[in-house]
Structure 1
Amino acid sequence: MTATSRPPHLAVALDTPGAPNPFDAAPYVRLARLAERGTLDFVTLGDTFARPGPDALAVLARTAPHTERIGLVPTVTTTHTEPFHLATAVQTLDWVSRGRAGWRADVSRTPAEAALFGRRPAAPAEALWREAADVADAAGRLWDSWEDDAEIRDAATGRFIDRDKLHYVDFRGTSSTGEEFTVRGPSIVPRPPQGRPVIVVDATEDAARETAAARADVALVAAEDPDTAYTARAALRARAAELGRNPDELRVLASLPVELPAAGDAAGLADLLTDWHTAEAADGFHLRPADPERDLARLVDGTVPVLRRRGLLRRTYPGTTLRDHLGLARPDSRYAARTGKAAS
């Protein structure tokens, strides 16, 4: 499928350098609501063990009740984090947001971050991303471990779940230090509204591209020109196909820095996005404002109307979930076949 066969997807980062109080979710709620007014697909919020900042997952969980349609995609690192806890936390965000959760997978690569936990040393990027791929695989299996109709909630009999529709995942993966880790399951949270929350991977670095091709629903690629983005998209789709995936189920977004100190720049941004879309550079764009408090308003009030007039951005959301926004089907549980249903 070509990148121009549908309107481009549009997402925005809410990261603010020297951010406000990291325990105050109010600025992020305000920004997410603004992005929702612009009918953007989703917002991202970064997180890292390397420096102080907001707990992205907690902040976007706080944002969820104050928004209705916008997708919410926090960064959660796979390094030094238990896969079971990570999966259930993202699963919970999908429930809190009624099907609008994503997870931007990332790794922790510095000795200082490793020292915070003291369990293992820092590892090379390639090993960290191989581990991240295994964690994403384990998470997907945990999200599938409850079939969609596993909950009975029968007060008369006192039965809450059908045990035959809960499944051990018995996953074995390899950590970044080469040691095996296991996840038995099942999850302690019912299957998410989306079936599986959307997995996002920044595939700009070569080390992350295999993980993106194998496990991501959305890959982000920082590119300075449309040719670079086009080449990256083609390579990711080709590798996804080699790994047995349908490449049309992978969305590749060009990740672009944005600074809009004047109204004319907002219209100029619309021209740039139009040109990149026409060149089939990407399936959409992940915009990284220099100052979200300033730039996001100018994006929504200046760039969005131009894109809408050109037929490159919807005026209303087509559905209620992040998968709906991205045109991704809701997957069946891979374990449903054990009870006589079709597996995906």
Structure 2
Amino acid sequence: MADISRTSDAVFPVGIALDGAGWHPSAWRDGGAHPERVFTAAYWGAIAELAERAGLDYLTITDALALQEDPRAGFGAERAVPPHPVPGIPSGRLDAELIASWIAPRTERIGLIPAVTTTHTEPFHVATALQTLDHVSLGRAGWQLRISPGAAEAAALGRRPAPGIDPARVAAGEPDPALDALLDEAADAAEVARRLWDSWEDDAIIRDAETGRFLDAERLHHIRFTGEHFSVIGPSIVPRSPQGQLPVTLLAHSAPVYRLAARAADVVFVTPHPDPATNASPGARTAAQIVAEIREIEGGAARAGRGLAPLRIFADLLVALDGEAGPAGERPAAAAPETGPERIARLDALGIPLASDAHLAAGSASDITELIEHWREQGIEGVRLRPASNHLDLPAIAQRLLPELRRRGLGGATPGGGRGAGTTLRERFGLPAAQNRYASERRDTIPSTKERAA
């Protein structure tokens, strides 16, 4: 079992969440956005390289099994089946895991976390693809675990019916058997992945040319998992990867998903709001309230028995930074830089207004840093920034927000390398080195010298 203590409580990772041209639905229409590049490898490579040069700790790549939905519809809205493109919203995405695999050899330090669903997919395939990404990235891979609860996703694949979740019950905080079944399946998929990642011990490959033994059979393990949703014997077809166990992350907004995080994840992304009383969402809560609920749930999850370190809680924050003024005397008054709130209003006027589960912080780097610092005081242990528009906010994050965060002791990396090339994502997240459960079990069953002599 793993040492469940954290490697460093001082680590405060800062990353970015990537989705198309940005998180505002009209970001693709903004001047300079170049929407024709969004489906090109060069676009994603340039973003990853910028993020790495800036010293961001990690990036996540959003993905789903259906076309993008209208953000104005809300969680409980009926979705068209089959799904159709929404006017004004970019439709389609490149596969997140494949994009991460393309980025991996073109970067050296930044963590890469694709979103991969556990619904309508085979856990064996998910586990081995992510394990391969960890090899390709030399230990920088993670997994944002997602479920696919909608009828649109089920219809797109056609392999099984929609789960039959009642959105109104879920939105009201009431138990929903269909959602519980989907989350149980996700937990089983994560458990299968973790066992497969351990199914090869570190020294399983011996490559003994003289005897013809490539593998040590005693160090290759069948996982023999049997659950309600699937049975997997294993072992993995991929040798143990550099991290051993990839960090598992997920986005959560409610108690049922908090329970999944406590059971299966290393990091949970949450969406606190500074002043819930002024928020239109009835479920809006402060960081302190969310952290308290998650820690209470975590206390009954027996994480140590599963070899998991304490759950890390990161906050999602949608950012629109103020524009930067040029040197005095070089810009006329009419060309004053656009503020973050002005830009959001302008993008809203282009067509689809912004509607987000995460709090919008539109303003200066100093103001946004103060909010993040406040959240850290309330128990938040890292942050994931969602740029409203990539072509404006990513450079602003790199040039102004990250330096301000570092001045206040937030953010672990520094431009050009930070804690050093080769740092794993587990290390960036403050997670302990993963130990192999099967190697530990095998060592525990080997008789000692005294026992053999007897």
Alignment partner of 1:252 is 2:292: no
Q: With CA pairs under 8 Å and 6+ residues apart, which has the higher RCO, 1 or 2?
A: 2
Cα distance between partner residues in 1 of 2:94 and 2:249: 19
* Larger Cα-atom Rg: 2
CA shift at 1:222, angstroms?
A: 1.1
Shift of 1:54: 1.1
* Distance in 1 of aligned mates of 2:442 and 2:65: 42
Cα-to-partner distance string for 1:23-78 (whole Å, 9 max, x where unaligned): 52221221122222232221000111111211000001000011111100000000
Select the residue among 148, 168, 171 that pairs with 2:225.
Answer: 171
Deviation beyond 6 Å, 4+ runs, structure 1:
none
Q: Secondary structure at the match of 1:317?
A: coil
Q: Does 1:154 align with 2:208?
A: yes
Q: Within 5 Å, which residues of 2 pair with 1:284-299?
A: 284-299=382-397
1:245-299, CA deviations, whole angstroms, 9 ceiling, x for partnerless residues?
A: 258631100111111242362232222222322x324001111111122211101
Aligned equivalent of 1:194: 243
Q: In structure 2, what is the equivalent of residue 178 of structure 1?
A: none
* Alignment partner, residue 232 of structure 1: 290
Deviation at 1:199, TM superposition (A): 0.2
Q: Is structure 2 residue 439 aligned with structure 1 residue 340?
A: no
Q: How many angstroms does 1:329 deviate by?
A: 1.0
* 1:89 partner amino acid: A
Deviates more, 1:95-104 or 1:23-32: 23-32
- Pick which of 323-332 and 91-100 moved more: 323-332
Report deviation, 1:107.
0.8
Residue number in structure 2 paired with 1:265: 364
Paired with 2:159 and 2:20, the residues of 1 have a C-alpha distance of 31
CA contact (8 A) 2:38 2:44 kept: no
Q: Given that residues 15 and 45 in structure 1 are in contact (C-alpha distance below 8 angstroms), is that contact kept between their aligned partners in structure 2?
A: yes
CA shift, 1:244, in A, is: 1.3
Give the alignment partner of residue 402 of structure 2, picking from 275, 288, 304: 304
Q: Which structure's residues are more often strand, by fraction?
A: 1
CA deviations over 1:71-115 (Å, ceiling 9, x no partner)? 000000000000100000000000000000000000111212112
Corresponding residue of 1:139 = 193
Q: Any idea what SS the aligned residue of 1:294 has?
A: helix
- Are the aligned partners of 2:145 and 2:249 in contact in 1 as well (CA < 8 Å)? yes
2:65 is aligned, of 49, 59, 76, to 49
* Code of the aligned partner of 1:324: E
Is contact 2:272–2:286 with CA below 8 Å preserved after alignment?
Answer: yes
The farther-off stretch of 139-148 and 253-262 is 253-262
Shift of 1:189: 0.2
Q: 1:113 aligns with which of 153, 169, 185?
A: 153
1:38 is matched with which residue?
54
Structure 1: runs of 5 or more not aligned: 176-180
Q: CA deviation at 1:205?
A: 3.1
Amino acid at match of 2:122: E
Equivalent pair of 2:263/2:301 in contact (CA under 8 Å): yes
Partners of 1:293 and 1:116 in 2: CA distance:
32
- For 2:159 and 2:231, the matched residues in 1 are separated by 16
How far is the alpha carbon of 1:5 from its aligned partner?
A: 5.4
Contact 2:37 2:43 in 1 (8 A): no
TM-score under structure 1 length normalisation: 0.91
2:16 paired with 1:27: no
Q: RMSD across aligned C-alpha pairs, in angstroms?
A: 2.3
Deviation at 1:212, TM superposition (A): 0.4
**Aligned letter for 2:399?**
D
Equivalent-residue separation in structure 1 for 2:151 and 2:113 (angstroms): 27
